[in-house]
Copies of this chain bind each other. A is one copy, B any other.
Amino acid sequence: MILYGREVADKMSEEILNEVKELKDKGIEPKLAIVRVGRNESDLSYERGAIKRAEKLGIKVEVFELQEDIKTDDLVGCIERINNDKLIHGILLFRPLPKHIDENHIKNAINPIKDIDCINPINVAKVMEGDKTGFAPCTPSAVVEILKHYNIDIKGKNVVVIGRSMVVGKPLSMLLLNEDATVTICHSKTQNLKEVTKNADILIVAIGRAKFINREYVSNKTTVIDVGINVDSVGNLCGDVDFDDVKELVKDITPVPGGVGAVTNTVLFKNLVKACKMQMGY
């Protein structure tokens, strides 16, 4: 089965639309702040997608575009103004930030209750603790949304995650553990990787290497979730998995594009609505 992200995003969007409507009936307009330092093309592209989706969901967006050479203190100042703005309920801050910025300082500056992309350590710790009053980062949450949407059994299953970043691998492992998966975390130093992945019920790949995973790494019981977004040798978007090589063999697989990436920004708005409700005391 091909696990299309669009179908998941559409279902989630329906629920978000209902919640937004309920909030608006109470006079509350959910609003996202996007904080962007500089004009990185991939940030701008994500921003355009987010703004378009926000419009469809009836959610307001305000973009704070800051100069590439902004000082840490001034960025903190901008974040604090957003923290204090009662009409804004969530913050998306693009990272990585320019090198001269003290990222640690910034992470702590974002009010945890508006930190819908899980940058503040308080939310990171909550992800680890399985405390659902926090916010998990959007990409790992999108993976869990896809698995749940397609009723793929997680509890007790062997889930192998390749990649150990703070953006995907580590928080995703914690989210899956909270869903009662048996989680194995692999990475560049893992020995006998094929042996480990062939044994997986669910294989999640987040390594950032185009078409790295081929049929040697999977079995006919594997559900493959491909988090990678790369450009292949002829300039097409592709994942970390060689889709054409494995698709006939595996049980399920997400495409790239149209898989995890199609769900990520919907999770952002799901988190925004959750944040809005928490701030309004619902």
Contacts and interface: CB of A to CB of B under 8 A. Distances in A.
A184 B187 contact: no
Contacts of A189: 155-156, 180, 182
A173 B185 contact: yes
B164 A170 contact: no
Given A124-B124, A126-B121, A191-B156, A182 B185 contact: yes
Contact of A191 (B157, B166, B186, B190): B157
A189 B186 CA distance: 21
B170 A177 contact: yes
A278 interface: no
Number of copies: 2
A62 interface: no
A191 B187 contact: no
Interface in A163-194: 164, 166, 170-171, 173-174, 177, 180, 182-187, 189-191
A203 to B, nearest CB: 14
A23 interface: no
A197 to B, nearest CB: 11
Given A173-B185, A184-B184, 14 more contacts: A121-B122, A121-B124, A122-B125, A125-B125, A128-B171, A156-B191, A158-B191, A177-B187, A180-B187, A182-B185, A182-B186, A182-B187, A182-B196, A184-B185
